[in-house]
Amino acid sequence: MLTDPKQAPRVAPVKGKAPDSCGYTSGDGSAILTLNPSARSYAAELSAAHSLVRDPAVAGMSEVKVTEADGLGQAAFRETAQVMKPPQNVAFVVWHAGSRTWVLTLAESGSGSGKALDTDPLMDVARRLTPRLPA
């Protein structure tokens, strides 16, 4: 998923405590993969995602798509979007496992090629991480 990954410094420490939050960048800096526990409930995350589908411009995004995901925690969804400034393609997997909601994000810089990122690799990573996550 990332070429020559390097651990990234945490940018938003209020999003979780080590080892709950982590991030990696690609060797060339063009992509970042992060895992964070959500400060919002799963229902609030899902509601926010559907709000972005209806009005992506409010968040500086376009082409937002949300789909339900099976086989991950108690509930899960996938989301893809294009961020306008700086131009990025972003994919999220959000799932509720144990007593927490987790967000796994992959962002790749680019001009918004119109091609959404593939969320299947993110789903695979989320499935492998879930048994190791704190309750």
The secondary element (H helix, E strand) that includes residue 4 is none
Paired residues of 10 in beta bridges: none
**This prediction's pTM:** 0.86
What domains sit in the chain, N to C, each tagged with a CATH number?
Answer: 6-132 (3.40.1000)
Asked if 62 and 31 count as a contact pair (C-beta separation under 8 A), the reply is no
Q: Which pLDDT belongs to residue 7?
A: 77
The distance of Cα 43 from the centroid of its chain, to the nearest Å, equals 16
Q: Which pLDDT belongs to residue 17?
A: 52
User: Residue 78 pLDDT > 60, yes or no?
Assistant: yes
- Whole-number percent of the chain with pLDDT over 90: 57
- Whole-number percent of the chain with pLDDT over 70: 87
Structure tokens at 23: 């991030």
Residues 84-101 have pLDDT tens digits of 888 999 999 999 998 899
Asked if 95 and 78 count as a contact pair (C-beta separation under 8 A), the reply is no
Asked if 112 and 89 count as a contact pair (C-beta separation under 8 A), the reply is yes
Mean pLDDT of 32-61: 94
Asked if 125 and 89 count as a contact pair (C-beta separation under 8 A), the reply is no
Q: Which pLDDT belongs to residue 5?
A: 73
